[in-house]
Structure 1
Amino acid sequence: MPEGSIGARPGRKYDQVIEGAREVFLRDGFEGASVDDIARAAGVSKATLYSYFPDKRQLFSEMVGVLCRRQAEQANMEIDFSAPPAAVLPLVGRRLMRFILSSTGQRLFRICVAEADRFPELGAEYYRCGPQMVQTRLRDYLLKAAARREVRFDDANLAAAQFAELCRAELWAKAIFGVQASVTDAEVARTVDGATSIFLARYGC
């Protein structure tokens, strides 16, 4: 959870405040968002909003943390550690791309970059809940596959990171810079399958 967050307080009003904050912050950014707009979008009074979050900074940090964790839950996956790399890598690649190419994932990324000086902890939270989570699970799988002599490498973390970067080729840059408004499943499959072939050509046994 981002540093300085007051922590989640379960309940309908809390959920309404977070949803209102999501709508306004993702639309207007931190500077452009007003507490009045957030309270209106949440359907609560300003007094209720302030009872949860004394200031806009804390609300912003909590909102980003909640959305990051929500994205992570959606991207969470069970890897069959007994399956061969040719079967597992495409699954991991598609799940990673689903996270980073999603509308919420891209908006969160842009906000974290735009507010990096003001909220340096947010980028770390986004990375931890999304790309790092997938990458860590891939590293753990690769170590098992290496023990079965299906792949070989000197650095499992580097190998996992390289596969993740191969999966981003072309599509991520086009999406984040607004060059391409949407990405099809076929485009993701083409890129991820290519990443798998390159990875196995380098690290396969």
Structure 2
Amino acid sequence: MTGQGRDLIVDRFRVIMSEVPRFPEPGEYLFECGKMPFLHRIHLVFDEEIKLGTLIVADVPTAASQFLGMVNDAIFWPRFFLMSMTVSDERVSQVIDEAVITMLQRYGAPKKHESKRALT
């Protein structure tokens, strides 16, 4: 998505969020259609990696929320408070890469030649 497309989404989210106290339904819709699809996709990726033996995740919903939280905290939420903030595609890639590295450090399965003690 281009920067202009992202700006439009942020503007719409701001409007919906400002009206949630009076009109909760749009907020619920935004959550179900805005956030939940991302969490669902992350769940699917984690489930597949668990099956492949590359991740050890006891609580997939929590891990998915952690991952999305790292990305949202660095890219999405600051734009609600800093009107002039722009985020380049390179920055988005960097934030996602760093979040993946963090998740692999926490949930990555030990390699066959590594001791399981490395995770504790």
TM-score by length of 2: 0.79
Q: Gaps spanning 5+ residues in structure 2: where?
A: 110-120
Residue matched to 1:133: 37
Residue matched to 1:121: 25
Residue matched to 1:201: 105
Deviation at 1:171, TM superposition (A): 2.5
For residues 98-153 of structure 1, the C-alpha deviation after alignment (integer angstroms, 9 at most, x for no partner) is 7xx81222122111211112210111111211221011121022112111211011
Residue matched to 1:189: 93
State the Cα RMSD in Å. Answer: 1.9
Letter in 1 for 2:37: M
Q: Gaps spanning 5+ residues in structure 1: where?
A: 1-94
3-state secondary structure, aligned to 1:202: helix
Letter in 1 for 2:90: A
Distance 1:163 1:192 in 2: 9
For residues 148-193 of structure 1, the C-alpha deviation after alignment (integer angstroms, 9 at most, x for no partner) is 2110111111111111111123332321112543111111111111
3-state secondary structure, aligned to 2:77: helix
Aligned residues: 107
Letter in 2 for 1:172: F
Residue matched to 2:73: 169
Cα gap change, 1:201 to 1:180, in 2 (>3 Å): farther
The alignment-based identity, stated in percent, is 24
Q: Work out whether 1:160 is the aligned partner of 2:60.
A: no
Q: Work out whether 1:149 is the aligned partner of 2:53.
A: yes
Letter in 1 for 2:40: T
Give the structure, 1 or 2, with the largest relative contact order (CA under 8 Å, sep 6 or more): 2
Letter in 1 for 2:15: I
Letter in 2 for 1:166: M
TM-score by length of 1: 0.48
